[in-house]
Amino acid sequence: MKFSGYIQARETYQDEAGLTGSINRARLTASGGIATNFTWRISGEFRTGNAGKGASVALADGYIRWKKKDFGIQAGQFKTPFAREYYTALPDVETADRATVVDSLAPKRDIGVMADYDLRGKAMLQAGVFNGEGQNVTTNKDSTVLGVARLVVRPLKDINVGGSVAMYFGDSTRYGVEANYEGPELTVRGEYVAQARDSLGGDTDKGWYGLAAYFVHKKVQLVAKYEDFSRDAISLQQQNQAWTGGANLFLAGTAVRLTLEYISREVGDPGVRKGTGLAQLQLRF
């Protein structure tokens, strides 16, 4: 049995709101093997209280996995395979938060079964069927399912390109494309994600982000990110555009990371722009 986890302590300063301290994430994971080719994982997220609510613990991952050579199957609750930035563990994302379009449109953790095939590191195909009700909901209320698939191809050593699709049958279809270059010092990444409302029609929810990160020193990584997201069928006030500039300081290898960011975000039409300063200390074990 192996224990791992991370904690993120954050201080945020926002125009007109002032300074706020928070625990952004606190997660503990236990994992291990139970028999030949079988492994398991249980992960819990510890949540601080907010207005009217006390602190709590919620199940994040809870699944059994079987793998033989390049083929694997897992069942339980886990991340749906959609969008690179969502599927990447949050402590490994270069910015403190995921892009708004990814956080808004990517299907999150769900209960279901998934198969995956790894073609010797050249390509990875994942496909699963889920309840479609979200995290920690143990009943399928409408008897429909969520199908999710993701294919990532590595044409060159440091380059990945891929696509994802998620179908809430009879309701909506979400899709995304991604491209990623990750070298020893420089990372360049972009994703486009959209949602078409199959039952209602109307404008498509859509957005994208582009990110560049560069190690100017083995302990200092500079990061720049631009994101654009809109849900015009709901409201023009859902339009969201933001610039992020910052740095990651690795204080003890990858185990301790201090993230310093400034985010300039414009929301609505006509837009109202506000600035946010952020400092987050992250420890992994």
Amino acid 181: pLDDT: 98
**Residue 142: C-alpha distances to residues 168, 197, 236 (Å):** 11, 17, 30
Q: Identify each DSSP E strand in 110-158 by its residue range.
A: 110-118, 123-130, 146-156
Amino acid 159: pLDDT: 97
Amino acid 200: pLDDT: 67
Amino acid 17: pLDDT: 81
**Residue 249: C-alpha distances to residues 205, 221, 252, 258 (Å):** 35, 7, 9, 5
Q: Are 189 and 211 in contact (CB under 8 A)?
A: yes
Amino acid 50: pLDDT: 59
Amino acid 269: pLDDT: 84
Q: Are 278 and 12 in contact (CB under 8 A)?
A: yes
Instruction: Show the domains of the chain with their CATH numbers.
Output: 2-284 (2.40.160.10)
Those residues of the chain that have pLDDT short of 70 are: 49-54, 143, 199-201
User: DSSP characters for 198-211?
Assistant: TTT-SSPEEEEEEE
pLDDT (tens digit, 9 = 90+) per residue, 220-258? 999 999 999 999 877 777 899 999 999 999 999 999 999
Amino acid 121: pLDDT: 87
Using CA atoms, how far apart are residues 197 and 209, in angstroms rounded to an integer?
22
Using CA atoms, how far apart are residues 18 and 20, in angstroms rounded to an integer?
7
